[in-house]
Structure 1
Amino acid sequence: MGNGWYGWPLERVLLLLLGLIFFAIFVQVTLFHYRQNFRHWAMWVPVIEAPLAALFCVTYVFFAPAWVWLTLVVLLTAAFFSGMVGSFLHWRGVGERVGGYEMRNFLVGPPVALPAMITVTSLIGLLVLFWR
C-alpha cells in the first residue's frame, strides 16, 4: 500500500470527488447556457461559480490553510443559494413556454434538474466541511 491514497480520510476523498462533479456541472451548464446565448445575466453565475468551486475543492484536498477553507465555505454557500434561484428560474422558464407545464416543455425547455444538482452538491460540500 505505497500509494498516496492509503489512509486518506473520507472527507478528503469526498472533496476531491465534489471538485470533479463541479467541473462536470461547469461543462454541462456552459454548453446549455451558450446554446441559449446567455440571454439572461444570471446564466453567467454558474458558469463562473462552478469552476471556482471545483478549483477550491481540489485545492483544499492538497493544500488546506484556513483562507482556502473560508473561501470554499463562501463559494459553496453562494452556489447553494444560486442553485435555488436557478431552480426557480428554470421552473419559471418551463412555464413560460407555449403550453405551460406540459411534458414536452420539460423535455425541450430549461433543464429543471441541473440547478438542483448544484444546490445538492454544494450542500454535500458544506456538510463535509462542517461535519464533526
Structure 2
Amino acid sequence: MNWSAWSLDRVLILFVSLAFLVIGIQVTMFHYRQNFTHKAMWVPVISSPIFLIVGLILTWYNASWLHTLFMVLMWFGVVDGLIGFYFHFRGVGIRVGGWALRNFLIGPPVTLPLMFTALSVLGLIAIYWKVW
C-alpha cells in the first residue's frame, strides 16, 4: 500500500475512525460500570461503532453520499459530546460535596465527552479540508 499517495483528509478520516473504536470501548466500559442508568448513555455506545464503520468505508470508497453521511455523523458526534459534557459535569455536581476536586476525580469523567467532541471536530476538518 502506497501511503504517500494518500491525501491528508483520507488519512485523517482513517485516524478518526480508528480513534472512535478506542473511545467507543472506553465509553462502553464506563457506562456499563454505571449500569446504563440514563438512556442517554446508550448514544455514544451505539454511535461509536457506526462512526468507525462509515469512516472505514469512506477511507476506501470515495463516494459523495458517504462524505455527506460522515459529515452528518460527525456533526451528531459534536452535539452528542457537548450534551455528554453537560451530563457529566452535572453528575459531578450532584455528588455529595458538589464540584469539589475529589468529585471530579471519582465522578463521571468530564473530559471524555469533550474528547468525543474533539474527535468529531477532527472528522469535520477532514471532510471540509480544502487544498489551497
TM-score by structure 2 length? Answer: 0.95
1:69 pairs with 2:36: no
1:48 pairs with 2:53: no
% identity of equivalent residues? 45
Question: What is the rounded CA distance, in whole Å, between the counterparts of 1:121 and 1:53 in structure 2?
Answer: 11
- Following superposition of structure 1 onto structure 2, how do residues 1-132 of structure 1 map, counting pairs within 5 Å? 3-132=1-130
Using the TM superposition, give the Cα deviation of residue 42 of structure 1 relative to its aligned residue in structure 2, in angstroms.
0.2
Using the TM superposition, give the Cα deviation of residue 58 of structure 1 relative to its aligned residue in structure 2, in angstroms.
1.3
Pairwise CA RMSD of aligned residues? 0.9
Number of corresponding residues: 130
Question: What is the rounded CA distance, in whole Å, between the counterparts of 1:110 and 1:76 in structure 2?
Answer: 23
Question: What is the rounded CA distance, in whole Å, between the counterparts of 2:64 and 2:6 in structure 1?
Answer: 19
Alignment gaps of 5+ in structure 2: none
Q: Which amino acid aligns with 2:40?
A: A
Q: Which amino acid aligns with 2:122?
A: I
Using the TM superposition, give the Cα deviation of residue 103 of structure 1 relative to its aligned residue in structure 2, in angstroms.
1.2
Alignment gaps of 5+ in structure 1: none
Using the TM superposition, give the Cα deviation of residue 32 of structure 1 relative to its aligned residue in structure 2, in angstroms.
0.2
Question: What is the rounded CA distance, in whole Å, between the counterparts of 2:43 and 2:18 in structure 1?
Answer: 18
Q: Which amino acid aligns with 2:98?
A: G
Question: What is the rounded CA distance, in whole Å, between the counterparts of 1:5 and 1:77 in structure 2?
Answer: 28
Question: What is the rounded CA distance, in whole Å, between the counterparts of 2:9 and 2:46 in structure 1?
Answer: 25
